[in-house]
A = this chain, B = another copy of it.
């Protein structure tokens, strides 16, 4: 696969510490022409599923041949494996802790390589920062055309994580909230197709916490200021929002219980 020269980064590092800059210095030392894009560094500490979801939502907007590095790595220094993955025309580099599982699962021809060839790593490997010493240099080598299979051995048992899927019970489609965005919008794991297949031609009755919404709208402005609404968002997912307000504060659910809370859709006639 022809590299695009672009590397994206998603981590749980925050933006205060110098760790990200160290990784960028390592990348630019190997490929001075690499283009580095920050996806998010505000992943919850150890939030593998959160990082995984954001990555899956974001990578398709980059050119084929882009390298996506994910460093949410609570197992750093243990014997968890180091991975490079080629799937859907993109590269993914990070720890073998399930972070890439949703992508690997979706692409049966995904090639999963355990990174073992330490000539592509920094000379000194610490027990606590493989992002800098393994993932950054491997990513940089991919951008200059090094073949991923040369960097290790193919494996067929990458670590899997549970991916919560919507299910139907008692004539109700149940999903869950996976993300609250900067605007307080509640983003669920129910896709447009799942919703349409369930509803057929019925109207939806959507409920979460103390909010009840009786139809789908196209955009936020379709309801009055302060009114809740539901729509299929720009990622193709069912989203609960409040026009010019924050749905996360209207739902009557404790802030730290919103992620993972249930959204129910029934057929309203």
Contact = CB atoms under 8 A, between A and B. Distances in A.
Interface residues of A, number: 62
Given A183-B45, A231-B127, A234-B129, A62 B29 contact: yes
A132 interface: yes
Given A74-B220, A221-B78, A62 B28 contact: yes
Contact of A233 (B4, B61, B126, B220): B126
Contacts of A118: none
Nearest to A46: B244
Interface stretch (A35-43, A147-155, A169-177, A255-263): A35-43
Nearest to A43: B16
A182 interface: yes
A13 to B, nearest CB: 6
A206 to B, nearest CB: 17
Given A4-B32, A5-B32, A219-B76, A181 B17 contact: yes
Contacts of A179: 17
Given A17-B40, A29-B62, A77 B219 contact: yes
Contact of A26 (B19, B46, B61, B218): B61
Interface string A230-269: 0101100000000010000000000000000000000000
Contacts of A78: 219, 221
Number of copies: 3
Contacts of A45: 182-183
7 contacts: A4-B28, A6-B32, A26-B61, A28-B35, A36-B37, A76-B221, A128-B234
Given A17-B54, A29-B61, 10 more contacts: A6-B32, A8-B25, A18-B57, A22-B61, A25-B61, A25-B62, A26-B61, A76-B219, A126-B233, A127-B218
Interface of A: 4-6, 8, 12-19, 21-22, 24-26, 28-29, 32, 35-42, 45-46, 54, 57-59, 61-63, 66, 74-78, 126-129, 132-133, 179, 181-183, 218-222, 231, 233-234, 244
7 tightest Cβ-Cβ pairs between the two chains A and B:
A77-B219, A25-B61, A129-B234, A14-B182, A25-B62, A127-B219, A126-B234
